Structure 1
Amino acid sequence: MCASRNAFARGRRTFLALAAAGLYSATARAVGPPPTPRVGAAQALERLKAGNAAYVKAPALCATRLLEQRAQQAAHQAPWATVLCCADSRVPPELVFGGLGLGQLFVARNAGHVPDDATLGTLEYACSMLGVALVVVLGHERCGAVTAAAAMVRDGARFPGFIGPLVEAIVPAARAVADQPGDFVDNAVRENARRTARDIATRSESIARGVAEGKVRVVAARYDLDSGRVEFL
């Protein structure tokens, strides 16, 4: 982790008790307010933008102090942003956003960043239990899952096993932009990121409440594999 971030990392050592973070009743409704975010959504977003700018300008990794970080974070975690992104090996969010160290990002990944039940539960945990105020849905250029969804729409392609249902979840985004000018797959990548962000902000009751109260922000973004830049949509 960069030396400029060490002071920030050392300062985040307090973990709120689970009972104070908001429990769920038998009817799955959240009770009690979420913890106050240690870093607001606007500040977290600016940190991510600055980190990506540094990554694009000088992508060589900063010297990491993993042993010290591991000792600091072993007993608790206090991430300041959540990223839902594709499982693509070319899109590691900690590196894309500036070589962030342990304990800074709460990350969920699957092919095509599909907001299934397990993923939504993961994001709810980040916002309701850990007090994260910013959720970023990070799509990326030439996404294989989105390309497969486009093939389903355009060519009637089919995929075996559990791949089929995963890709089918992305098909509505591809179908929505099938007649738009420009690159079909890239238009679908952007639309899929936007739809995922919207799903998160509406399907999750606790996150929707946080958004309505101005305590949580959900944004969509696209990572460019060629330039390394993240575009917030």
Structure 2
Amino acid sequence: MTGDAEPAAAERVPGRRRLVRTVLTGAAVLSAGLLSGPGPAPAGPGSGSAGATSPGTAKRRPAGPDTALRELAAGNRRWRTLHEKHPDETRTVRQALLGGQHPFAVVLGCVDSRVPPELVFDQGLGDLLTVRSAGEVLDEAVLGSIAYGVLELDIPLVVVLGHQSCGAVAAAVHADGSGAELPAHMQYLVDQIRPAIDRKLRGDARVDAAITANVLLVRARLAAEPELAARIAAKRLAVVGARYELGSQRVHRVG
């Protein structure tokens, strides 16, 4: 999977990618059920996983979308069973990361304080590129941040991570039902989440369904971005949707 060649069209740097490169450079979806079922042991010292090795460490970065998904699944399993390793926090790793970063997944998650991706997936420094916005809502800054991870850092996996009892989605559902305008910039969140609302449902069921539908809509929008779509077609990238359940602490695929 790591040896796949980039399509000729994707090798040309389009306007948007050129902008991302100018602004960001130098300023310093696949096997179903992989996140919900058992996976192999996570990559670590001596594991032999393919991929880049950070200088000064024995850990190797998962090389493609499948192995990246399995690493996240294994980490979430440790988290929800209270066997966290809190990896990649040692002095050696901190020193090694001075020379650069090689994260293996982008996680677009909610700003909710109960769902920090590094804890939910039991990952450490240099492992994840995390982008967070209320309700995983996309704007140009979020899109540019994800593009930076994929195009500049060659990250093979993007996970759109929604979660149970999402306050942003609930606020959007309630505002949509009442017709009220939210103050300040929060109305933007309502406008972006509104297409995920199923008005045939009522109460908590409407909110819960909107949480999942919103993840799927965001995932579909990302997968349709031309630069990302080219990498998906070449099997160099997967964009997947997932939900975190606060009660069980389990992450599972949606869609």
Matched residue type, 1:225: L
Asked whether 1:191 is paired with 2:210, we answer no
Indicate which of 221, 234, 237 corresponds to 1:213: 234
Q: 1:4 to 1:208 in 2, by over 3 A?
A: closer
Asked whether 1:230 is paired with 2:233, we answer no
Task: Tell me the distance in 2 between the aligned counterparts of 1:78 and 1:200.
Answer: 21
Contact (CA 8 Å) 2:62, 2:71: kept in 1 or not? no
Q: Structure 1: which 5+ runs fail to align? A: 15-36
Q: 1:102 to 1:85 in 2, by over 3 A?
A: same
Task: Tell me the distance in 1 between the aligned counterparts of 2:221 and 2:172.
Answer: 18
SS at match of 2:177: helix
Asked whether 1:56 is paired with 2:80, we answer yes
Percent of residue pairs bearing the same amino acid type: 37
Task: Tell me the distance in 2 between the aligned counterparts of 1:170 and 1:4.
Answer: 36
Contact (CA 8 Å) 2:62, 2:68: kept in 1 or not? no
Indicate which of 205, 223, 230 corresponds to 1:201: 223
Indicate which of 27, 44, 68 corresponds to 1:5: 44
Partner of 2:138: 115
Matched residue type, 1:191: A
Cα deviation 1:176-217 (Å, max 9, x = unaligned): x22147711110000000100001111x22111111222111
Q: Structure 2: which 5+ runs fail to align? A: 1-41, 56-60
Contact (CA 8 Å) 1:113, 1:139: kept in 2 or not? yes
Matched residue type, 1:100: Q
Cα deviation 1:94-145 (Å, max 9, x = unaligned): 1101x21100101101111112111111111111111111100000011111
Indicate which of 130, 151, 154 corresponds to 1:128: 151
Task: Tell me the distance in 2 between the aligned counterparts of 1:158 and 1:46.
Answer: 42
Q: 1:157 to 1:5 in 2, by over 3 A?
A: farther
Task: Tell me the distance in 2 between the aligned counterparts of 1:85 and 1:186.
Answer: 16
Partner of 1:82: 106
Q: 1:172 to 1:63 in 2, by over 3 A?
A: closer
- CA-based RMSD of the aligned residues comes to 2.5
Matched residue type, 2:153: L
Contact (CA 8 Å) 2:89, 2:125: kept in 1 or not? no
Task: Tell me the distance in 2 between the aligned counterparts of 1:71 and 1:123.
Answer: 25
Task: Tell me the distance in 2 between the aligned counterparts of 1:215 and 1:120.
Answer: 19
